[in-house]
Structure 1
């Protein structure tokens, strides 16, 4: 189905706007529109793909777990192509790195956190507290949507970076579709999986008996 003319105009305007990173709050919101792509090779279908582009910002558990600095740097660089964090954010470029970690490398969620944090402010700078609240809002949405019956599967994924052998296909599909679990490819023959960082913060996940 073809796009309505107003949507086409919006997309065209967005592409022009991305000739340089946003230096105002209004432009920052526009630049973090999920349908505003930077480069087809980088952000293809970020707004409507059920498995949006995900950058590997974490290490596998067998490699020690924790953050993957080069992945975080790649993700933060993408965000800085859209927004002048050094001008608009209280934490400067460090805010981009923190959002990269909070998103788990999911472009869709990183852009949403930036946009929600910016929308809290009338004038710069976007505070660290605004970033925290934006992430907390996403965490709350995860908590509301997460069935408790999925938590044992998440715990297994967190420990092994794999789904349990007896995991039902519909459960696996739901966890990936709703991004409770993120899939990383990283050029390997087989993908691997990790629980979204904001799901790991949910009380439902942390305090299961």
Structure 2
């Protein structure tokens, strides 16, 4: 990213900062200081991001080559410890900002389709997280051809689809309780009713489950023998509901109600956006997946109003 003269200038500046006690502590390696500086620059604004991206694009093959040299040395060392291979996991790429560049091209396509060859060029096992919405777009088949060993990770089935009567899924609820048990002392911290509500409110989404737990702990009632009460969980849930209320466009609610009623989505841009924002969640039930509206979205006034009107309309027609 840095040219030689720029590297020398940055190196001198970082050393001076360390001498005067500015920035990171003196004992931190220069490479770590450089990465911290680069990360800070990337976060400063779009102009810096664009400049860094342009410089990297012109050097991408060289960068991959150097990375592969590093990975080769790492694999040699790993095999000395009786391990089989190096695995690189690049998480949170499923959360990168969605931008529509026009002419059917998005920021997701730019990374995973246009740069897919480079992503596959590392000489090691690699795991990338991809937005699930891409599996329902026009680029889905191209994506699958670039990454043939793909796996779609559904939500944990906390409930049954409405076509099968709905209600809690005992297996899924137990799985979610197990996840909780690995993170907190459930029996000593949580009321039983609170645990059940946590598992239902997250919709089977482990990340939302942990978010709800964190907020519940913040709102815990320390005067209670088990501080994570149903009331604390409901306050945490209200924060999640509020977050969805700020992100969902009003025209989406009719489509969300349709998903709620049928447990199916359409393969269009709006439903892709719902999957990306996780206002709609995907579940696996045999070969064909099914979908449902996130429980937090179901509590929004706009959603309940449209659902009420839909039910009244169906009743009148019958």
TM-score by length of 2: 0.47
Q: Is structure 2 residue 160 aligned with structure 1 residue 62?
A: no
Contact conserved, 2:221 with 2:229, CA < 8 A, in 1? no
Q: Deviations over 1:79-136 (max 9, x none)?
A: 11211121122x14x4222211000100010000000111234846223221111000
Q: CA RMSD in A?
A: 2.5
Q: Which has the larger radius of gyration?
A: 2
> Where does 1:26-105 land on structure 2 (aligned, <5 Å)?
45=91, 49=129, 50-51=131-132, 54-89=155-190, 91-92=191-192, 94-105=193-204
TM-score by length of 1: 0.69
- Secondary structure of the corresponding residue to residue 159 of structure 2: coil
**Quick one: distance in 1 between partners of 2:91 and 2:154?**
8
Q: Deviations over 1:139-176 (max 9, x none)?
A: 01111111111111111111111124xx6x22111101
**Quick one: distance in 1 between partners of 2:194 and 2:162?**
26
Quote how far apart the aligned CAs of 1:66 are.
2.1
Larger relative helix fraction: 2
- Secondary structure of the corresponding residue to residue 182 of structure 1: strand
Quote how far apart the aligned CAs of 1:53 are.
5.5
Match of 1:190 in 2: 288
- Secondary structure of the corresponding residue to residue 98 of structure 1: helix
Contact conserved, 1:80 with 1:96, CA < 8 A, in 2? no
Count of matched residue positions in the alignment of Structure 1 and Structure 2: 162
Distance 1:203 1:122, change over 3 A: closer
- Secondary structure of the corresponding residue to residue 251 of structure 2: helix
In the alignment, which of 231, 243, 250 is matched to residue 148 of structure 1?
A: 250
Match of 1:203 in 2: 301
Unaligned runs of 5+ in 1: 6-43
Contact conserved, 2:279 with 2:294, CA < 8 A, in 1? yes
In the alignment, which of 197, 205, 215 is matched to residue 116 of structure 1?
A: 215
Contact conserved, 2:280 with 2:292, CA < 8 A, in 1? yes
Contact conserved, 1:88 with 1:126, CA < 8 A, in 2? yes
- Secondary structure of the corresponding residue to residue 292 of structure 2: strand
**Quick one: distance in 2 between partners of 1:59 and 1:110?**
18
**Quick one: distance in 1 between partners of 2:219 and 2:303?**
28
**Quick one: distance in 1 between partners of 2:258 and 2:204?**
20
Contact conserved, 2:221 with 2:227, CA < 8 A, in 1? no
